[in-house]
């Protein structure tokens, strides 16, 4: 029936039919959605409140204590200048211009060695070594080697601090430098970060108590003292009791310094040790004998007497830089068998040096 329509009209009719179909599909979809109801509500998480930005506090700076300054390196060559001049200088004078060790030279060497405060045994030992060498040039090296052998044969002077507090009993005659040595030791331990207390056990001399108090203040350590004439053992006991109750590290106990032949002094030292052991059974852990290098061979006799009264563990040899008798170190080592722990090479707080056997021997026998 549509044969008479033109192709253009047919195309228009087809387009209209397609549009009506699409519209009908939309209507049907809308009606279905109305019957199904609205889509379910989905709750979304709320964003965090903005507010001011949080600022982290800066890291707190922790103050790291600076390490204690190291004491200056001891100048053994300068410290033994007078001793070297009195021994090696005189030996060089004997050999100057001589090509051989004749009997005359050996006789002069003997005089020098026995006059050098080495001690009889050590002087005789050294003389025997000189007789073995072939030429004057070999004398110094031979004596240096023998000095090292003597010092190497001693027990180690270093005592490990195996218990806290570490108790050091300091003994010696008046004028030897005990108080000064205690002050220098206190300063050394304090510089290492240790807590130190000193006991003014030389109660017979008010000056000794006052002097130790000055050194304690200079070193920045505590002191236990009594009135002059008090009981030295009681002072030592109080110092140990205080150190133990407060967890201190080191106790340095001063003692009286009458003549080494005074039996009363030796009995007193024994009493101090007995009383200290009531508080700390292992005390003292060290017994340091202070000797004045200026006394020469008399220092050997002092060491022998004190060794009888107390178990001396080491020697502090003071005033080594101001004497020509420093060779007594070798006499003490060979005749008494005690190691030198410290050497006083000056007057300042830092002038108490750890004894160094190779450095000592090298400086003592070096030329010039």
| 3 exposure class (CB count in 10 Å sphere: 0-12, 13-18, 19+) | exposed
pLDDT for 39 beyond 70: no
Q: Is pLDDT at 221 greater than 80 in this prediction?
A: yes
How far apart, in whole angstroms, are the C-alpha atoms of residue 324 and residue 79?
Answer: 10
- CB distance 257 to 176 below 8 Å: yes
Which pTM value belongs to this model? 0.78
Higher pLDDT among residues 226 and 31, named by residue:
226
Mean pLDDT, rounded, of the chain: 83
Residue 64: which pLDDT band, with cuts at 50, 70 and 90? very low
Instruction: Give pLDDT, residue 134.
Output: 86
- Greater confidence (362 vs 18) lies with 362
Element of type H or E holding 316 = strand 314-318
Measured CA to CA, the distance from residue 341 to residue 354 in angstroms comes to 6
Evaluated on CA atoms 238, 239, 240, 244, the torsion sign reads positive
Coil, strand or helix at 250: strand
The average pLDDT across 82-107 equals: 89
Give alpha helix (H) positions in the chain: 7-36, 76-79, 81-95, 103-114, 120-132, 139-152, 178-191, 206-219, 232-246, 263-279, 297-309, 328-335, 357-364
Do the Cβ atoms of 291 and 283 come closer than 8 Å? Answer: no
Pick the range with the lowest mean pLDDT from 1-10, 65-74, 219-228: 1-10
The pLDDT, as a whole number, for residue 348 is: 76
pLDDT of 20 strictly over 80: no
Q: What is the pLDDT of residue 59?
A: 41
Q: pLDDT tens digits, residue range 289-313?
A: 999 999 999 999 999 988 888 899 9
């Amino acid at each position: 029936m549509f044969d008479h329509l033109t192709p253009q009209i047919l195309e228009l009719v087809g387009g209209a039919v397609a549009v009506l179909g699409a519209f009908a599909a939309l209507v049907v979809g809308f009606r279905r959605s109305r019957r199904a109801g609205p889509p379910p509500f989905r709750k979304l998480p709320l964003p965090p409140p903005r507010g001011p930005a949080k600022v982290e506090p800066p890291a707190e700076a922790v103050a790291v204590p600076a390490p204690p300054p190291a004491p200056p390196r001891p100048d053994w060559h300068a410290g033994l200048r007078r001793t070297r001049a009195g021994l090696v200088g005189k030996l060089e004078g004997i050999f100057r211009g001589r090509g051989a060790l004749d009997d005359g030279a050996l006789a002069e060497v003997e005089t020098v060695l026995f006059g050098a405060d080495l001690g009889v045994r050590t002087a005789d030992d050294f003389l025997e070594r000189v007789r073995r060498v072939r030429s004057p040039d070999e004398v110094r090296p031979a004596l240096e080697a023998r000095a090292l052998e003597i010092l190497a044969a001693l027990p180690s002077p270093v005592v490990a601090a195996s218990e806290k507090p570490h108790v050091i009993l300091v003994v010696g005659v008046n004028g030897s430098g005990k108080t000064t040595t205690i002050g220098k030791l206190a300063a050394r331990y304090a510089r290492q970060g240790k807590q130190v207390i000193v006991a003014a056990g030389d109660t017979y001399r008010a000056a000794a108590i006052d002097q130790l108090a000055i050194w304690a203040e200079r070193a920045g350590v505590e002191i236990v003292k009594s009135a002059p004439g008090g009981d030295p053992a009681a002072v030592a006991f109080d110092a140990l009791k205080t150190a133990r109750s407060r967890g201190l590290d080191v106790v340095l106990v001063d003692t009286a310094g009458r003549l080494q032949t005074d039996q009363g002094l030796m009995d007193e030292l024994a009493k101090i040790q007995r009383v200290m052991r009531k508080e700390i059974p292992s005390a003292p852990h060290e017994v340091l004998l202070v000797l004045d290098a200026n006394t020469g061979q008399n220092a050997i006799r002092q060491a022998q007497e004190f060794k009888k009264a107390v178990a001396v563990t080491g020697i502090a040899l003071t005033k080594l830089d101001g004497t020509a008798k420093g060779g007594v170190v070798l006499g003490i080592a060979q005749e008494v068998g005690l190691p030198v722990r410290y050497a006083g090479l000056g007057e300042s707080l830092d002038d108490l040096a750890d004894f160094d056997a190779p450095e000592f021997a090298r400086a003592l026998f070096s030329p010039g």
